[in-house]
Amino acid sequence: MDESIWDAVRAARGWLDAANGAGDAELTCRILKLTEEAGEAAGAWIGVLGQNPRKGVTHTRDDVAAELADVAFTALVAIESLGGDARAALLACAEKVRARQR
């Protein structure tokens, strides 16, 4: 991943910390934000499928990809907010997945 992603993650955490603090209530909100973002991704996929007959097709696969990117970025910010290193956590997760494939 491009280094600017990690800079953006750290900057987002800093911005949120400055605006909202970094206590447990705020951390809870950052973790819950993942659910909100995942719901938006699910809604976009429903829109791709045209599952809601009242609305029809309302989204594209690119819209779904953008929503999934929001989920991923939000998760990385939450990891940093926990005091972790999002890059290291993601690399460890990727290694765990690779190990299962061996």
Domain residue extents for the chain: 3-100
Specify the pTM. Answer: 0.92
> Would you state the pLDDT for residue 3?
74
Calpha distance 87→72 (Å, rounded): 12
Q: How many CB atoms lie within 10 A of CB 60?
A: 12
> Would you state the pLDDT for residue 1?
53
pLDDT at residue 2 above 90?
A: no
Q: In this structure, what token pair is assigned to residue 71?
A: 């989920």
What is the phi/psi pair of residue 87, to 5°? -65, -45
Q: In the structure, what pLDDT confidence band is assigned to residue 74 with cuts at 50, 70 and 90?
A: very high
Q: pLDDT tens digit string along 7-56?
A: 999 999 999 999 999 999 999 999 999 999 999 999 999 999 999 999 99
CATH 1.10.287 fits 3-100, yes or no: yes
Q: In the structure, what pLDDT confidence band is assigned to residue 5 with cuts at 50, 70 and 90?
A: very high
